[in-house]
Structure 1
């Protein structure tokens, strides 16, 4: 026994009949070829924003690591009996030049048995001109305490 199913399509046309062509230029079918590109262009600003925020967070972490390195180098130099240079110079020399030039602050407290050095560095912005109200990422502040030898 053979079962035949009848499928009714819109307009009552058979499946193997002529296709309906939407209004447009004669001889051309309407397609969705550019739709994905337009959707991608709409989503692109969000992707760029997320990428910039990720780069900014990495830059803030790098600045904090550089501040810690500078604080340790300065504290190590300040505790030496016969230092070869100043502790402030040691702090500046131990970090990247582009971070040491802008927003570098050095503070040293010491007693007879230990020295504490605090370094503050301004976190740079990824987008130039964003130093205003919304572009401030603050400062990375690290301290290091070492005993006098």
Structure 2
């Protein structure tokens, strides 16, 4: 029993680290999906910021920048805040970019 009590904090830390890795992966995936959605809509002349924010989980606090491109392409950037489940560690920020060709109406 005493050995288990001594090993329990290490097991908890390993479990929380596994959960944290999952959150980081999920946040990166959400940022990439949001950037693609924002770039797609902005390249067609639509509200890219709204599309990018709608495609990301709200608890990640997405910050979307999707201006209409001046040339042949539009690039969108999404930043999300990844919370920390490990005590005494701050959260992380994940940032992803996506570029789409502008809609060419001939």
Q: TM-score range, shorter-chain basis? A: 0.7 to 0.9
Largest Rg, 1 or 2: 1
Q: What stretches of structure 1 of length at least 5 have no aligned partner?
A: 1-36
1:88 matched to 2:56? The reply is no
- Higher share in strand: 2
Aligned residues: 102
- Higher share in helix: 2
Structure 2 length as normaliser, TM-score? 0.87
1:107 deviation in Å? 2.3
2:14 is matched with 50
What is the aligned counterpart of 1:105 among 58, 63, 73?
63
Structure 1 length as normaliser, TM-score? 0.63
Please, what is the CA RMSD of the aligned residues? 1.5
1:41 matched to 2:5? The reply is yes
1:148 deviation in Å? 0.5
Q: What stretches of structure 2 of length at least 5 have no aligned partner?
A: none
Q: Distance in 2 between matches of 1:73 and 1:106?
A: 10
